[in-house]
Structure 1
């Protein structure tokens, strides 16, 4: 589940890596508060993909349910933003499969 602070095109990249993806815009949640997005992800057993560090508060809560891929990209071009996951995707997937609930890309 790609958060509103990331480009819609990121949704196109994730299926190429073998994963379903939906942008909050497609769910009509672009103005939804973070807790609502998190609850949706919990109910859908989804991973929230975001640059928004506010999601850390939900992920750290006991029994949080969802998982978080937090991207620390800063002010970079979309090309650079999309290349980063491609460069290190297998370790990211392995960490989630191993049970990690938080993976941070720097």
Structure 2
């Protein structure tokens, strides 16, 4: 990009999305792990409609990351059952770094 050619060394892209919604704790963990594997392997087509609310921007990030030779690493993967306590209907969250 032009910014990189002008001496700028780093660019930050931040995309936020919930993962699974309103599943029980253990089903959500399994589903979110599948989504995380798709993110880490830069496979946007493996992220289904109900895997992430923001699957469109996440998919765009994965395509861009692949085009630029980036690799994804999971920083954290949790759901609201880990933080709020109620495990009957949770929302999943993941944090990933691309470099």
Q: Which has the higher contact order (CA 8 A, sep 6+)?
A: 2
Richer in strand (by share): 2
Q: TM-score, normalised by structure 1?
A: 0.26
Q: TM-score, normalised by structure 2?
A: 0.27
